[in-house]
Amino acid sequence: MQIALLQSVAKILDIDANLDTLEEAARRAKENGADLLLTPELFTCGYSPDLVRANVTAADLEEIDNGAASIARRHDISLVYSAPRITVEERWHISATLLDAAGDKLLAYDKVHLFGEEEQRTFSAGSHGPTAVTHGGLRISLLICYDVEFPESVRAASEQGAELVLVPTALGTGFAAVSHVLIPARALESQVVVAYANHCGTEGGLLMGGESVVAAADGSLLAHAGEGPTMLYASVEPAAISSARERVPYLRDRRPELYVRWNGLSGS
């Protein structure tokens, strides 16, 4: 599977402009041979949790969902987009959705680990772990931003059979170690490909860090962006993932029956 990652600047609360950016990215990605486009966290409405919660409506979210599905269909490309989700209990979640090239929903995920005071006061944390779906010859899971910094999240996706973990993110400057250290480490230790798509530029007063990255299942980098707007491309091959798992069999050599006992003894 050929994947593309969008790294760009979203316009806060300008859903039409952000969908236009997604449209152009989908067009370019398809022209360059990509089967799937991954876009950043809350890119459809811009990353500013307080403003988003105060101003985005259910009608806006319907516009986002319909717009994203139309983009996938028009350009015949699978798409991961991120937007708020409102439950029937009126809880707000940061969510991500994987669509196929027909615009049909294959997978959805709510962010479990909320980062910082602003996210924590405006959104509710999800509680369901990642699941996986077979698409394009791969088992695919979703995580969002801060989730991927916890080894438990990526390992949970791997245990669901994931080979490719797609991660929309909104990471500010000053955290370069996430792209440089943690993403390759998460990929290596759980033997999955991790694709991590970030914003760049300034949104809602926050300077975004860019440095989107795709890490292979052996921890090597398949693609790495700088700080400015760009599109990243990478080829994700099941054979390469299988080879990494055979060369150093972390998953096969785990001893989970011991880890459960260790956790019990520590009281955690």
The pLDDT value recorded for residue 263 is: 81
Which one from 41, 149, 163, 211 is the annotated catalytic residue? 41
The pLDDT value recorded for residue 265 is: 64
Q: pLDDT tens digits, residue range 82-134?
A: 999 999 999 999 999 999 999 999 999 999 999 999 999 999 999 999 999 99
Which class does domain 2-266 fall in? alpha beta
Which one from 45, 111, 163, 203 is the annotated catalytic residue? 111
Which one from 30, 45, 119, 145 is the annotated catalytic residue? 145
Q: pLDDT tens digits, residue range 20-74?
A: 999 999 999 999 999 999 999 999 999 999 999 999 999 999 999 999 999 999 9
* Cα–Cα distance, 102 to 48 (Å, whole number): 30
In the predicted structure, residue 268 carries a pLDDT above the cut 80:
no
**Strands, E, within the chain: which ranges?**
2-7, 36-38, 78-86, 92-99, 105-110, 132-135, 138-142, 164-168, 193-197, 200-203, 206-209, 213-215, 221-224, 230-235
Q: pLDDT tens digits, residue range 242-261?
A: 999 999 999 999 999 998 89
The pLDDT value recorded for residue 233 is: 98
In the predicted structure, residue 212 carries a pLDDT above the cut 50:
yes
Sign of CA dihedral 248, 250, 251, 253: positive
Two tokens, residue 40: 């950043």
Containing 189, the helix (H) or strand (E) segment is helix 183-190
pLDDT (average), residues 181-197: 98
User: ∠ CA(22), CA(26), CA(27), 5° rounding?
Assistant: 120
* Cα–Cα distance, 168 to 144 (Å, whole number): 5
Respond yes or no: is residue 31 known to be catalytic: no
In the predicted structure, residue 160 carries a pLDDT above the cut 70:
yes
Respond yes or no: is residue 145 known to be catalytic: yes
Tell me what the pLDDT averaged over the chain comes to: 96
Domain boundaries, the chain: 2-266
Respond yes or no: is residue 41 known to be catalytic: yes
* Cα–Cα distance, 52 to 256 (Å, whole number): 41
Residue from 71, 38, 54, 52 nearest 169 by CA? 38
In the predicted structure, residue 187 carries a pLDDT above the cut 90:
yes
